[in-house]
Amino acid sequence: GRRPSNYPPGPPTLPLIGNLHQMPTKNAHLQFQKWAQEYGPVYSLMLGTKVAIVLSSDVAVKDLLDKRSSIYSGRPELYMGQEIMSGGYRPLFMGNNAVWKMVRKLAHGVLSVKVSRSYVPYQDLEVRAMLMGLLESPNDFLNHIRRYTTSLTTQMAFGYRTLESNDENLLEMFEFWLQSAALLDLYPIARVLPDFLLPVRRMGREYHKREMKLFMKHFINARTQLKSGTAKARYLEPISQDIEQPCCAIDLLRAQKEHGFSDELGCYLSGSLLQAGSETTAVILIGFFQAMLVFPDVAKEAQAEIDRVCGNRMPDLNDFPDLPYIRACMKESLRWMPATALGVPHAATQDDSYMGYHIPKDSALILNVWAIHNDPKQHPDPRRFNPARWAGDNQNSAQAAVNPDPSKRDHFVFGAGRRLCQGMHIADRSLFLAIARTLWAFDLKRQVDKQTGQEIIPDVDNIKDGLFISPMPFVADIVPRSESRAAAVREEWGKVAGLLDEDMQWKTVPEGLKWKDYEPLDDGNEDLLESLS
Ligand code: HEM
């Protein structure tokens, strides 16, 4: 419990329990930020017999998680969420071992820079569907955002679209994910708590059984499609034009033949892609919508840029190089409402020392994303949503993440080192398309309170805690910018609606939808990234 004198500093400890009694039960990110201000960029928390090292500067993250990634890429052990609730199968929580390395390779096979381009038609169609939703039931905007990111990921992971925000599978999938958060009281620090503080083992096991059943159902379904010839896979083959319905489960089924892993692992890999990709992306977008209500000048400037570049034509990914302010809005959204405010903890797999401090083997390393994003030295007036701070930064998230100069990294949302998010390329595109098209079609306005006549401004400090932070639900008035824009939204949907069958599922991947697609604007870092993967 007591902090050895050669450990990084931290709040005073009590015998046996160390700092456990000081662990915040809500808004953990704010307390972690406060401690960073008090104890510096590398501090420690004593959690009973365990220790967590909190990294709160870009330099510390680069020095340890990136540069020494060979020893900082584990995950904290004895983690309820993995052993009990995931049967050891959840890739995100696997330690630095042979299975994880294989999984990481498999994930690379379905998420790499190249392969992620094949999902663009899905992103395109789902954003159009989101715009239709915003047109037809604007008050449900939070659901339309969630449906968009979820449908994209169910399509990528298992090959089916999610049509409604109250879709049964979606709800079940979310229930599991959120329940796990509730069960574990999951902000990252809870993951390093000793088991005796988590008296929910039995419930956890139940949860795992049900989740496995759900993932397996979709996985087996993909196999049936593969066998019946209604799906083709691309894994281990060059990307060709005759891909139909690219989806991870099908690629993994092909890979399974070569690598011989179990169905359980395969379905969890697909399933966890789904969980890794949907709510996270939604939170960033919800933050963006909120920011537009609070900082209306930003929306105006963004719309001016879109009008200048695209006019009446709906923006697409080919506009990426020509819409620097929209790209900056995306970066700022990632900084301002980072979803993973305290990252996903890494673990040290051997003893180390840094800045004269001892870092013991098995300590958890917490990436203090919130504190870094809100450091006024790096980002003056940090709670102001100000895309102008990114002027001249042409890196995408992946490039910035591996920039050798840590001060040039834009945001830390996607983690670090060998654990870096493999879905970044997909996430960047999802965000860019949704932001550009929403602002092209709609004004995001404050609702006016009918009784008082006052505009309702969302409270930006009212943040929902948990596995991911997100803005508390808020109201907005979302209106088409003009009659003709409303008509254009319908027309744009009409152009793709014919690609779907009567169940609103893809008939085939759209023909003629040939994307030039954006190439990275600086291409020096790609190799580095691949080497981290
Ligand atoms: C804005 C959206 C997203 C956010 C905020 C996000 C966040 C994260 C974070 C924080 C990590 C762990 C990094 C670390 O340990 O240092 C991660 C890992 C990962 N994410 Fe994402 N992610 C997003 C989108 C996606 C998407 C769309 C996919 C795939 C469809 C995806 C797949 C993965 C995978 C495969 C890993 C690696 C797990 C591991 O090696 O432990 N993510 N992501």
What is the whole-number distance in angstroms between the Cα of residue 111 and the centre of ligand 1?
11
Question: Does the beta carbon of 416 lie inside 6 Å of ligand 1?
Answer: yes
Closest to 222 in 3D by CA, of 255, 193, 197:
255
**DSSP summary character for residue 243:** -
Instruction: Give the angle subtended at the CA of 341 by the CAs of 339 and 344, to the nearest 5°.
Output: 95
Atom of ligand 1 nearest to the CA of 415: 16
Report the chain's C-alpha Rg in angstroms.
23
Question: Does the beta carbon of 188 lie inside 6 Å of ligand 1?
Answer: no
Q: Give the residue numbers spanning the domain of 48.
A: 20-532
Domains contained in the chain, number: 1
**DSSP summary character for residue 152:** H
Atom of ligand 1 nearest to the CA of 338: 5
Give the whole-angstrom CA distance, residue 116 versus residue 247: 10
**Residue 173 pLDDT:** 62
**Residue 200 pLDDT:** 56
Question: Does the beta carbon of 104 lie inside 6 Å of ligand 1?
Answer: yes
Give the whole-angstrom CA distance, residue 320 versus residue 519: 9
Q: Please give the span between the terminal C-alpha atoms of the chain, in angstroms, as a whole number.
A: 36
Tell me the ipTM for this assembly. 0.98
Residue 527: C-alpha distances to residues 58, 94, 193, 246, 415 (Å)? 21, 25, 37, 25, 18
Phi, psi of 38 (to 5 degrees): -85, -45
Closest to 287 in 3D by CA, of 344, 343, 331, 342:
331
Closest to 518 in 3D by CA, of 295, 321, 354:
321
Give the whole-angstrom CA distance, residue 256 versus residue 237: 14
CATH classification at residue 379: 1.10.630.10
Residue 6 covered by a domain: no
Closest to 486 in 3D by CA, of 531, 441, 421, 420:
441
Q: Could you list the pLDDT tens digit for every one of the 533 residues in the chain?
A: 799 999 999 999 998 888 888 888 788 899 999 999 999 999 999 988 889 999 999 999 999 999 999 999 998 865 556 666 677 777 888 889 888 898 898 888 888 888 888 889 899 999 999 999 999 999 999 999 999 999 998 888 887 888 876 666 666 666 655 555 544 443 445 555 554 445 455 666 777 888 888 888 888 877 776 666 555 443 333 333 344 466 777 777 777 877 778 888 888 888 888 878 888 999 999 999 999 999 999 999 999 999 999 999 999 999 999 999 999 999 999 999 999 999 988 999 999 999 999 999 999 999 999 999 999 999 999 999 999 999 999 999 999 999 999 999 999 999 999 999 999 999 999 999 999 999 999 999 999 999 999 999 999 999 988 768 899 999 999 999 999 999 999 999 999 999 898 888 888 755 433 344 444 444 444 445 454 44
**Residue 116 pLDDT:** 85
Burial of 494 (0-12, 13-18, 19+ CB in 10 A): exposed
Tokens representing 138 are 């604007």
Question: Does the beta carbon of 127 lie inside 6 Å of ligand 1?
Answer: no
Closest to 55 in 3D by CA, of 352, 370, 276:
370
Atom of ligand 1 nearest to the CA of 274: 30
Residue 10 covered by a domain: no
Q: Ligand 1 pocket test: which of 370, 421, 424, 425 has the largest number of ligand atoms within 8 Å of its C-beta?
A: 421
Residue 495 near residue 489, CB atoms below 8 Å: no
Residue 500 covered by a domain: yes
Instruction: Give the angle subtended at the CA of 35 by the CAs of 30 and 36, to the nearest 5°.
Output: 95
Give the whole-angstrom CA distance, residue 64 versus residue 77: 19
b/e sequence 394-412, b meaning 16+ C-beta within 10 Å: ebbbbbbbbbeebeebbbb
Give the whole-angstrom CA distance, residue 27 versus residue 40: 20
The answer to whether the Cα torsion of 194, 197, 200, 201 is positive or negative is positive
Place of tokens 């929902």: 464
Taking each helix axis from N to C end, the angle separating 263-294 and 168-184, rounded to the nearest 10 degrees, works out to 90
Residue 155: C-alpha distances to residues 121, 210, 282 (Å)? 11, 21, 16
- Residue with CA at minimum distance from ligand 1 atom 28: 423
SS (H, E, C) 352-393: EEECCEEECCCCEEEECHHHHHCCCCCCCCCCCCCHHHHCCC
Give the whole-angstrom CA distance, residue 7 versus residue 3: 7
**Residue 247 pLDDT:** 74
Atom of ligand 1 nearest to the CA of 417: 16
- Residue with CA at minimum distance from ligand 1 atom 32: 423
Atom of ligand 1 nearest to the CA of 248: 30
Phi, psi of 81 (to 5 degrees): -60, -25
Tokens representing 514 are 């040939």
Residue 508 covered by a domain: yes
Residue 289 near residue 439, CB atoms below 8 Å: no
Residue 38: C-alpha distances to residues 13, 187, 215, 371, 375 (Å)? 15, 21, 45, 12, 13
Residue 214 covered by a domain: yes
* Contacts for 313 with CB less than 8 Å, ≥ 6 apart: none
Closest to 72 in 3D by CA, of 410, 465, 502, 365:
365
* Contacts for 525 with CB less than 8 Å, ≥ 6 apart: 395, 398, 399, 402, 403
**Residue 5 pLDDT:** 96
What is the whole-number distance in angstroms between the Cα of residue 456 and the centre of ligand 1?
34
* Contacts for 450 with CB less than 8 Å, ≥ 6 apart: none
